[in-house]
Homo-oligomer: A and B are copies of this chain.
Amino acid sequence: MGEGSGSGTIRPGGRTARVRASVLRAAGDALAERGFAQLDLADVARRAGVGKTTVYRRWGSIAALMADLLIELAQESVPHTETGDLLGDLRANADLVRRTLRDPRQGALFTAVIAAATWDEPTARALRQFYDSRVTEWAPCVAQAIDRGDVPAGTDPREVIRAVSAPLYYRLLTHGELPDEAAADRAAKAAAAAARAGVFLAGHTDSSV
């Protein structure tokens, strides 16, 4: 019988990692400089000093490249302090989102990934995974607010965190407006007010507010 069953050793080290890193950096540069619409894999390969064959083989599409760029970004977890105050924590979260979306490179990346995710399923998965991990990082501060009795028991922490991001992304995507401090502040306050009013109680759809 055949030994080793055909699957050779994987080689993520050395050159492969170097190629991946330089392609991702080049892709980020190209995205920031020329924008999503003008992205072309051959140009990325040229900037990265890498054969375009390699880029086509390993990523295959702009969408996949964007997704990989997002995964790379997701590695660097942004630690956050907890203030012991729901509104303070949500403000910190809103401010993180605001700064992320306003950052030229990251902002362009997020709009590009969201756009690509509307037609490319792997990219959509990467995007979901990114937000799920972000939400998981931030949910504890809502859980603590529940423990303090600041927010009704049974509130879904994840839903509260998502409520903070929603208006900021919505404005960016539908109106092209980068969120400013006031918008971030409103987003945090609105989420806090809704959470305190019991809007995010899990399970049942209550008629009362």
Contact = CB atoms under 8 A, between A and B. Distances in A.
A111 B127 CA distance: 15
Interface of A: 35-37, 87, 111-112, 114-120, 124, 127-128, 131, 159, 162-163, 165-167, 169-171, 173-176, 181-182, 185-186, 189-194, 196-197, 199-200, 205, 209
Contacts of A169: 166, 169-170, 173-174
Given A165-B170, A186-B200, 11 more contacts: A37-B119, A111-B118, A117-B174, A128-B174, A162-B170, A163-B167, A166-B167, A169-B170, A170-B170, A190-B200, A193-B209
A171 to B, nearest CB: 7
B190 A194 contact: yes
A171 B162 contact: yes
Nearest to A61: B37
A127 B174 contact: yes
Contacts of A115: 114-116, 118-119
A133 to B, nearest CB: 13
Contact of A37 (B120, B162, B186): B120
A1 B205 CA distance: 74
